[in-house]
Amino acid sequence: MKVLELENVSRRRGEKKLLKNVNWQVEQGEHWVLYGLNGAGKTSLLDLINAYFFPTEGKVSVLGMEFGKTYLAEKLRKQIGFVSSSLQQKILPSDNAYEVVLSGAFASIGLYEETTAEMDKRGVEILKELGCLEYANRSYATLSQGEKQRVLIGRALMAEPSLLVLDEPTNGLDFIAREELLEAIDTIAKKPDGPTIIYVTHHIEEILPIFGKTLLLKGGEVFASGDTKDLITSDGLSAFFGIPVNVMWHHSRPLLSKAVASQSEISLLGADGGS
């Protein structure tokens, strides 16, 4: 089953096109990176996937539901686990970590309904899996940024989503907290019954080996999409950024740096400067 299918999708706001002729297919079992700089159109694309708006042009199908043919917004969102910084700001600070995770079963902000024994058990299992059990009874407000992100991912997993969208989940984390969170995401991705993951970032070094596919988004358009190893290269990203860059792979993860001029180029610049 195709988890996501976009055909010639455009989204217009007034005279401005936020998305332009986007084509993207995500198969079940694939894990994708959505990569782009600030202003690339990532948020617009995520809002579209979550059915917060329909496309101005083109065809969109998410988890087998085609936009415009069924009333799907509420049904679709229950099948998508979505974690973003905007969600973090909405969580009730007095709720403890366990309550926040359990609220995901009802897609609510706050826990207002009685949970079943099965829900309670699943909540504990998720807390264990993400390394959150030790602070299950602590209020959300007292958690560190990394702990909050783990809890929000747990909340997203509570409803057993078919698609998990992580929108720049490591923002504001130090190196250790970032790597611990990435380890947790890696564990989720490797579960045979786990969800398809779309990981949104503008940091190349966060691309884990499990993200075998990448979509490069630039100016609201698909710059390129395909196998991560084919796209995340020095030549590929130099073309994407419009400046020379170097990509080095280390332990199956990429590192990015701005290219340094070669000695011949430096000599040539010096000769030109003296003429």
pLDDT value at 266 more than 80: no
**Res. 269: pLDDT tops 60:** no
Q: What's the predicted TM-score (pTM) here? A: 0.89
Q: Please give the helix or strand (H or E) that residue 163 lies within, else none.
A: strand 163-167
CA distance 150 to 131: 8
261: Cβ–Cβ under 8 A, 6 or more apart, which residues? Answer: 269
The C-alpha atoms of residue 40 and residue 43 are separated, in whole angstroms, by 8
Work out the pLDDT band at 225, boundaries 50, 70, 90.
very high
The average pLDDT across 71-100 equals: 84
Average pLDDT over residues 61-84: 79
Residue 270: pLDDT over 60: no
Alpha-carbon 13 to chain mean position: 24
Residues found in the chain: 275
**Residue 205 pLDDT > 60:** yes
Residue 264 pLDDT? 52
Higher pLDDT, 249 or 75: 249
Dihedral angle computed from the Cα positions of residues 67, 169, 250 and 32, in that order, rounded to the nearest 10 degrees: -10
Q: Tokens 């190893």 label which residue?
A: 229
Question: What letters, b where the CB count within 10 A reaches 16 and e where it falls short, cover 54-79?
Answer: ebeebebbbbebebeeeebeeebbeb
In the prediction, which pLDDT does 125 show?
94
Cα gap 208→33, rounded to integer Å: 9
Rounded to whole angstroms, the Cα distance separating 53 from 73 reads 9
The predicted pLDDT at position 13 comes to 85
Summary mean pLDDT of the chain = 89
Contact 164, 155 (CB under 8 A): no
Contact between 165 and 79 (Cβ < 8 Å): no
pLDDT of residue 274: 44
pLDDT in tens, 125-142: 999 999 999 999 999 999
Q: What is the pLDDT of residue 108?
A: 81
DSSP line for 11-76: EEETTEEEEEEEEEEEETT-EEEEE--TTSSHHHHHHHHTTSS--SEEEEEETTEEBTTB--HHHH
* More confident site: 71 or 171: 171
What confidence tier does 273 reach under pLDDT thresholds 50, 70, 90?
very low
How does pLDDT run across 11-60, given as a tens digit for each residue? 988 878 899 999 999 999 899 999 999 889 999 999 999 888 889 999 99
